[in-house]
């Protein structure tokens, strides 16, 4: 999501200045390594880790090895197509990527789409209809508080996450 056009060399500079080995990787890969080291996947040779935030990422460890794949895209699950027919445009140039429906902005897109047909009472639906700023956090908090519309949004996002995870 940084949209860098060329490689940013920082590793050798840090290694030289600190005098210790240095490695850099993306957040999801490093998080997967952390989970394998001291988290839910502690000492498990096979771990799959998913990150949800401004984008959707993943880290995959198989037989104790972090899978980078071709061009470092081994765990880039955010660009798996989960909505092939009428999917939202993605920053990668494709349509229907998981990131377009399960990232922070993607959850809001799903809510706006579902709001068009929803007819029940809902604070989130009302906020969307009024043009108010609604965040994914607002949606998840409303779902937790019992807002049925927000719950339907979370259910739809969960469906997409399930497709990508299967």
Tokens encoding 43: 């000492």
Given the residues 25, 27, 63, 138, select the one marked as catalytic.
27
Q: Which residues of 52-81 are buried (b: 16+ CB within 10 A; e: fewer)?
A: beebbbbbbbeeeebbeeeeeebbbbbbbe
β-partners of residue 58 are 50
**Local structure of residue 92 (DSSP, 8 states):** T
The yes-or-no answer on residue 46 being catalytic is: no
Q: What is the DSSP letter of 95?
A: B
Active site residues: 27
């Amino acid at each position: 999501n940084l949209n860098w056009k060329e490689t940013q060399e920082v590793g050798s500079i840090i290694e030289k200045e600190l005098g210790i080995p240095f490695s850099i990787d993306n957040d999801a890969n490093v998080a997967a390594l952390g989970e394998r080291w001291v988290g839910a996947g502690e000492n498990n040779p096979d771990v799959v880790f998913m990150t949800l935030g401004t984008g959707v990422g993943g880290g995959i460890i198989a037989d104790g090895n972090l899978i980078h794949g071709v061009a470092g895209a081994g765990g880039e699950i955010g660009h798996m197509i989960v909505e092939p027919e009428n999917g939202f445009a993605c920053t990668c140039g494709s349509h229907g990527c998981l990131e377009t429906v399960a990232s922070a902005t993607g959850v809001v897109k799903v809510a706006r789409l579902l709001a068009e047909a929803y007819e029940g009472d809902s604070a989130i639906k009302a906020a969307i209809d009024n043009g108010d700023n609604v965040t994914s956090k607002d949606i998840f908090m409303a779902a937790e508080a019992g807002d049925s519309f927000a719950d339907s949004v979370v259910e739809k996002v969960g469906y997409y996450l399930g497709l990508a995870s299967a």
